[in-house]
Amino acid sequence: MTKKNKAIRIIELGVKSYNDSLKIQEELFQKTIELKSVNRKEDTQIPTQNYLLWVEHTPVITLGKSGKIKNLLLGEKQLKEKGIEYHPTNRGGDITFHGPGQIVGYPIIDLDNFFTDIHKYLRYLEEAILLTLGEYDLNGARSIGETGVWLDVGTPFARKICAMGVKASRWVTMHGFALNVNTNLSYFDYIVPCGIKGKAVTSLAKELGREIPFKEVKDKLEVHLANLFEATISSSGII
């Protein structure tokens, strides 16, 4: 049996387009899967690596594999005029927006190093967000049947603060979560967020009435993820 590696390496991508970030994700994802395949075929025990990519995207609307194009409310010309890219993608979920002021986390994790349960994995990602919101005295919650993190669930004021969509193959994950920190929320007017009608979107800045330092939020998320996954966190710098 391959030795389990409980370390997660943080990679800061800075501000980067969705496509460029996706290429980095896919490279790490495929490299991990290939190593697992080699270990099985050659009966070796080379540990796989785990990564967490932090990125702030240039404006982009992405549509998950189970999404519906009707939830995009702008045409190609309008998207171009507003400087917004559009990309269908292979993650789970429906449609969402990524852009400035939003922290996007892409864990490229070999769950064989931790636990082989994709539902538990999603709940842990949500829990890290919930715990982080709690440090700002915000009472986040899950909404039954709706992956992600919300505020005021079950009321007419329910609003989403964090979207999630993942892909996994051979217990290796990619894609992840997008937490609205200082996001310009007007971009969400151009879509039906996550395909859910009649519910608002919010951000940390909107809820707290002030801008929040990115590093402060990422540091909190890293602590909670490390505790939940019983992992050690290390930094690999900026790509």
What sign has the CA pseudo-torsion 216, 219, 220, 221? positive
- The whole-angstrom separation of Cα 122 and Cα 119 is 5
Catalytic residue among 61, 194, 225, 231: 194
Q: Residue 20 to residues 129, 137, 153, 169: CA-CA distances in angstroms?
A: 25, 35, 35, 21
> Residue 162 catalytic?
no
State how far the Cα of 227 lies from the Cα of 135, in Å rounded to an integer.
Answer: 15
Distance CA 158, CA 136 (A): 18
CB 119 within 8 A of CB 39: no
Q: CA separation (Å) from 160 to 46, 171, 193, 226?
A: 41, 28, 9, 24
Q: For residues 71 and 68, what is the distance between their CA atoms, to the nearest angstrom?
A: 6
Gap between the Cα atoms of 194 and 165, Å rounded: 10
Indicate which residues carry an active-site annotation. Answer: 194
